[in-house]
Amino acid sequence: MQIEEETEKFAKICQLSSLCVYGGVPKNEQLQGLQKGAEILIATPGRLLDFLECGETNLNRVTYLALDEADRMLDMGFE
């Protein structure tokens, strides 16, 4: 959520939309945001994996991908 706050500052200037998805909250609202589309997606590894595994999103159109805590993501099966 901290990354989302900082991202919004720059995204507004560039007229880009951003979305933050993370665990611990219901998926429905986050899924609606994914379906609307966003140029910038901020996601925790677990929630991103949830959406990828159920086919709600994919990484086909990703141009840039930055991984924070990549070691944790590998532990979760993102290989």
Dihedral angle, C-alpha 70, 74, 77, 79, nearest 10 °: 90
Query: Is 78 a member of any domain?
Result: no
pLDDT band at 74 (very low <50, low <70, confident <90, very high): confident
**Per-residue pLDDT for 67 more than 90?**
no
**Per-residue pLDDT for 64 more than 90?**
no
Q: How many CB atoms lie within 10 A of CB 19?
A: 18
For the chain, how many structural domains are there in total?
1
Per-residue pLDDT at 79: 63
Query: Is 61 a member of any domain?
Result: yes
Query: Is 60 a member of any domain?
Result: yes
Beta pairing partners, 40: 18
The string of pLDDT tens digits covering residues 22-63 is: 999 999 999 999 999 899 999 888 899 899 999 999 989 888
**CA nearest neighbour of 47 among 57, 35, 61:** 57
The pTM score is: 0.78
CATH number of the domain to which 30 belongs? 3.40.50.300
Looking up tokens 């999103």 gives 57
What amino acid occupies position 36? K
Q: The domain containing residue 43 runs over which residues?
A: 2-73
Query: Is 51 a member of any domain?
Result: yes
Q: How many CB atoms lie within 10 A of CB 35?
A: 9
Q: What is the CA radius of gyration of the chain?
A: 13
The three-class DSSP label of residue 68 is: coil
Query: Is 79 a member of any domain?
Result: no
